[in-house]
Amino acid sequence: MAKVNIGGIKVGPGEPTFLVAEIGINHNGSVALAKKLIDAAHEAGCQAVKFQKRTVPAVYTQEELAKDREVPADIIANAIKRGVLASEAVARLTGSNLLETTNGDLKWALELTASEYKEIDQYCKAKGILWLASPWDEASVDFLERFKPPAYKIASASLTDVGLLRRVKKTGRPVILSTGMSTQKEIDKAVKILGSKNLVLMHCVSTYPAHPSELNLKTIGTLEKRYKVPVGYSGHETGIFSSLAAVALGACVVERHITLNRAMWGSDQAASVEPRGIAKLAKEIRIFERALGDGKKRVLESEIPIRQKLRRKTFFS
């Protein structure tokens, strides 16, 4: 099985697990918060962080954008300060420090600008950590190309978007494809479009948070056997033990959402891992990798004194 080179790091069987901390939209539209999450991922030992990029009018219908939505006042205020929302976007403040506004205002508030991504790009380079993103539409691929990302991540929701798959394929960059909420036939079609070269598949369950009974981690082996490409695991459950189990079952990439606090406002925060958790996960995975070994049975040097002391008889004397 061919390994995939992501930003100079080999990804595949026999290589150290590639750890991705998904920031996604947990930055809540704040570069300062994004930097804190990058710091936490870097300190934990992750090789990459991941964001999400959307062209709002292309991804959402006008009807969806017009829906009423309560949004924290500080997120809207910051969006106005950043220039992504006009001041008239501010609606009535409720008693819970939420603004009665629209879903569209929220979506725009959560999108980082080109200059903000440039700042993130420079920050990650200075830290020595890779960053990539999930583009949700073709224009977002064009937007991200200016930063020459080491790979593209395609979200489970976008697996059936033929135009997006072809646009990402055209860049020639490695692709990490999540397979949540997808049938086998849909995955077959996506892999046919993308090709198996420089492709990593991710087993994923698209519930937030996912219950242990839903995880079906044995699918990792099923995907690897069927497609002959490196397979990873993108988890949305609480806790870290299932991610360790995924590594034991052959996952060569582990991606988990990261947050400063699971109680923070946001749709993905509750299914995320806090800094101490992501650090523990990274540490345990590295210990786990050493414990897995190479599968060859041998007598260890450390076993010889015990063997000499306790074994009374041998087959070969």
Q: Would you say 199 and 177 are in contact if contact means Cβ atoms under 8 Å apart?
A: yes
Per-residue pLDDT at 93: 57
Per-residue pLDDT at 119: 98
Domains of the chain and any CATH numbers: 4-54+111-303 (3.20.20.70)
Per-residue pLDDT at 259: 96
Per-residue pLDDT at 271: 85
pTM to 2 decimal places: 0.93
244's enclosing H/E stretch is: helix 241-248
Q: How far apart are CA 70 and CA 58, in angstroms?
A: 23
The mean pLDDT values, 10 residues at a time, for the chain of 317 residues are 95 96 96 98 98 96 94 91 78 70 94 98 98 98 98 98 98 98 98 97 92 95 98 92 94 96 90 94 94 92 93 80
Q: How far apart are CA 298 and CA 296, in angstroms?
A: 6
Per-residue pLDDT at 94: 61
Per-residue pLDDT at 209: 85
Per-residue pLDDT at 60: 95
Distance (Å) of CA 191 to CA 137, 169, 230: 18, 11, 13
